[in-house]
Amino acid sequence: MSPKAQGVKQIASNRKAFHDFFVLERFEAGIELFGTEVKSIRGGTLNLKDSYCTIKNGEIFVRGMHVSPYEKGNIFNRDPERTRRLLMHKKEILKLNARVMQDGVALIPLSVYFKDSRVKLEIGLCKGKKLYDKRESDAKRVAQRDMDRAIKNM
């Protein structure tokens, strides 16, 4: 029997989410997957770009997450865009549901990673950015890059 893989290995991150939203809080959730999906994720064929989370009947789901079919999976491959259930404690889900209902915030997947050979999804409780907020954060990033470049050239 082989030993379990230890540590955290980043698979994919949703960079568009950080551009479009302010991340207020982060949560970790397990994700319900089939074997061929896990094998495909190990190969890094995952896209979180337009994905989001919904809560229905006390369960939390991720929608729009694209996991490419496993090339050797033949009949066992599932729909790449299917809705997948997330695994969290009931109290956490109810707390998130209350926040989403009252605050006008959204649940957005931020990253997918392996934690001790298990696939985990990092969810952010996010508030949308306005256009001027995006311009401001872009200006800060450019200014920081210029300062770093100036320090490096000294």
User: pLDDT per residue over 40-62, tens digit each?
Assistant: 888 878 888 888 888 998 899 99
User: Tokens representing 93?
Assistant: 């889900």
Domain assignment of residue 71, yes or no: yes
**3-state secondary structure at position 41:** helix
Domain assignment of residue 1, yes or no: no
- Total domains present in the chain: 1
DSSP H or E segment with residue 124: strand 118-128
Model's pTM, two decimal places?
0.76
* pLDDT tens digits, one per residue of 75-130: 667 667 788 888 999 999 998 888 888 877 888 999 988 888 888 999 998 888 88
Domain assignment of residue 61, yes or no: yes
The residue range of the domain holding 78 is 8-129
CATH number at residue 82: 2.40.280.10
Domain assignment of residue 27, yes or no: yes
Domain assignment of residue 154, yes or no: no
Provide the 8-state DSSP code for 3: P
